[in-house]
Structure 1
Amino acid sequence: MSEKRCFIPPATVLPLWAAERLSGPFALFLYRHVSKPLAALTGRLSALFPFPVAGVFAIGCMAAAAALIGCSFRNRRALRVLSRFLCVLLSAYILLWDILYALPAAPDGKLSAPSLNALCERLIEETEEAIPAFLERNEALLLDRALVLMRAQTGLPLERAKWTRFPGVFSALGISGLYFPLTGEALVNGDDLPDTLPFTICHEMAHQAGWAREEDANYRAFLACEAGSDPLFRYSASFTMLIYAMEALYRADNAAWRARVGGMSRALTDRFAAANGLMTAGPSRAQAAQRAVTDAFLRFSGEADGVDSYERAILLLAAHWGLTGGAT
């Protein structure tokens, strides 16, 4: 009997995962009454520490797992403890993150070339209006300013994002930011492109607010920046969405893309070229590996487009502005 007990804990995780994925009403009930309050509590506890708890938590878990694996060769009880330890981690992951993918998603669709052209025109206008705020930018208290915007947009008592302690590692891997659900922390790479950095903070905080899908997080972050009175965040949101929209327009109608680039001001052209240069320089092996892992993770979680799901936010934005006449 004792030999079989070590397999019981993982077996209890599978029904939970299957139930929240296969039953929408159950997933919604679990999210409202368990996951949402648990995530808020986790975030509040992590906010007590001025440094990111995620790294300490991850290292501690790996050390504990390694120690238990080592002990299991001499003591079978250690194997049972390891099994239960992994069960707790998997259950926490399901409740704090995976369940969010079981909630209703935005409808699929694709913008036509005319709709993309109109969206790019609107975004260029928005970005041109706000670019002076970037050129004369005040980057003080970015995390606090983002917190005000996201709390106003979501109506939730979100916690302040944190700068990662390892920006060099993040940059080497091509990571602008990430949300660590097991500690409820939104972590941001402070060395990221200054044009997109304010938006990235809001994007990671949108994950903290409960929007797991990348297109939803992008869209909610845009709404927060657009509705706020901070011109630097308005510029960052418009600029980031412009990059996505221009990439889509480039594939759909190259002539229209060239016309839009030709109509940009010199200041915006320089910033657009700087961002485009970073994206077209070619990823390093580490960045390519990170992108492949992220793509696989997103697809496994339910994002059919993988890393391309970030760009799907432009469909939501076009609908927000009434520019989806040619959507398919």
Structure 2
Amino acid sequence: MGKKIYIIMILPLSVLLNFVFSRNTSFVEKYYSNGINKPTRQLLSLVTGIFSFSLGEILVYFFVILILLMIGKLFYSSIKDIKNSIECLKDFLVNMLCIVSIIYFLFLFLWGFNYDRTTFGETASLKVRPSSVDELYELCHSLIIDTNDLREKVYENEAGVMEFQEGYKGIFQQAPLAYENLSKEYPTLSGKYGKPKNVLLSEKMCYTGITGVYFPFTGEANVNVATTDFMLPATVIHEMAHQRGIAREDEANFVAYLACTSHPDDRFKYSGSLLALINSMNALRNADYEKYKELRLGYSEGVLRDLQYLSEFWQQYEGKTEEVFTKVNDSYLKSNRQEAGVKSYGNMVDLLLALKRK
């Protein structure tokens, strides 16, 4: 217990440090995000990028098995020696606290403090402010024109749905081009990082409603490759934004839009434009349903087919598992001061409006 108490004390110290950093965003931006953390993220990502599979996914499975073994050992010891069960429980709780303390510290050091950095909108000189419904209407209208135009330039399968003929491997291979172009305008997104990784249990992952996960302990952008082809490029670029220190979900979505539309491939452009359109039209539907219905009539037949397929795809995975993971994800986002929780995914619209004004 002697040495373990020092490990446990790292936890409250980490919480305190996180609290202090959250009040000093410019310091975090300069000395952490663009200072010590950027080369750390790149090195970690490049080293783990040597492997074709996701080390992060393997570590998650290993950790789950380890916890189950610890619980099993506690249960077995309690049955074998009831008098010693209190001591076993004490050891179990101490070990768990040590594990949590180490994991939380590593999370903050390797990536977590990026939640405390200056917002991407500020670094990109975008003036985010409340916008009128008419401004939102105009944004949606322009996105519909762009998305309809791009939809005409992409391949569709026999069912009339957009398809990436090279599969997810082709998307992974071409994805870095998006950041090569975008980083010229936004240097904070520059750097060399490891390639995206496919999740081995992607099909099962669909039941959680999760399309991708950035694993900060390995610097890997993990992607659920069982989802729709037309949304996959935007998902890959979104997770790669996390690799580049963009922690907030709404900002990662916005960066995904910028990067995809900067890509030379029209399929990436379409995916990013469709992501922005979905988010913006959802916001308009909540603000003015009549205007939403009016603009919806402007969708091309190809876009409508893709959106219908997207809806049908996710309907088959709806259930209790998705609800549980949504609540867990919501709690995670709120714990990192994204107060809107899962709803923060819609906040990219404010950035899109600011970009349109600029």
TM-score range, shorter chain: 0.7 to 0.9
Q: Is the 8 A contact 1:92 1:182 kept in 2?
A: yes
**1:158 equivalent in alignment to 2:193:** yes
Q: Is the 8 A contact 2:10 2:105 kept in 1?
A: no
Give the aligned partner of residue 42 of structure 1: 44
- For residue 179 of structure 1, give the secondary structure of its aligned residue in structure 2: strand
Listed as ranges, the matches of 1:179-190 within 5 Å are 179-190=214-225
- Following superposition, the deviation at residue 81 of structure 1 comes to 6.5
Q: Separation in 2 of the partners of 1:102 and 1:321?
A: 26
Q: Separation in 1 of the partners of 2:336 and 2:318?
A: 24
Give the aligned partner of residue 15 of structure 2: 17
Q: Where does the alignment leave 5 or more consecutive residues of structure 1 unmatched?
A: 324-328
TM-score, reference length from structure 2: 0.81
Give the aligned partner of residue 82 of structure 2: none
- For residue 152 of structure 2, give the secondary structure of its aligned residue in structure 1: helix
Q: Is the 8 A contact 1:116 1:249 kept in 2?
A: yes
Question: How many equivalent residue pairs?
Answer: 321
- Following superposition, the deviation at residue 64 of structure 1 comes to 4.2
Q: Where does the alignment leave 5 or more consecutive residues of structure 2 unmatched?
A: 78-86, 122-126, 157-162, 183-188
Listed as ranges, the matches of 1:183-262 within 5 Å are 183-262=218-297
Give the aligned partner of residue 112 of structure 1: 132
Q: Separation in 2 of the partners of 1:75 and 1:96?
A: 31
Q: Percent identity?
A: 24
Q: Separation in 1 of the partners of 2:131 and 2:47?
A: 42
Listed as ranges, the matches of 1:64-83 within 5 Å are 64-65=66-67, 70=73
Q: Separation in 2 of the partners of 1:79 and 1:245?
A: 46
User: CA offsets, 1:121-152, max 9 Å, x none?
Assistant: 01101101110233345442110111221243
Q: Separation in 1 of the partners of 2:325 and 2:94?
A: 33
User: CA offsets, 1:216-240, max 9 Å, x none?
Assistant: 1011111111112110010011111
- Following superposition, the deviation at residue 117 of structure 1 comes to 0.6
User: CA offsets, 1:72-113, max 9 Å, x none?
Assistant: 967998987765444332211111232111112358754321
Q: Which moved more, 1:134-143 or 1:162-171?
A: 134-143
Q: Is the 8 A contact 1:203 1:221 kept in 2?
A: yes
- Following superposition, the deviation at residue 282 of structure 1 comes to 8.9
- Following superposition, the deviation at residue 279 of structure 1 comes to 6.3
Give the aligned partner of residue 283 of structure 1: 318
Q: Which moved more, 1:24-33 or 1:186-195?
A: 24-33
Instruction: Mark the CA change 1:75 to 1:22 in structure 2 (over 3 Å): closer, same or farther.
Output: closer
Q: Select the residue among 190, 195, 206 that pairs with 1:171.
A: 206
| Corresponding letter in the other structure for 1:104 | T
| Corresponding letter in the other structure for 1:289 | V
- For residue 175 of structure 2, give the secondary structure of its aligned residue in structure 1: helix
Give the aligned partner of residue 89 of structure 1: 103
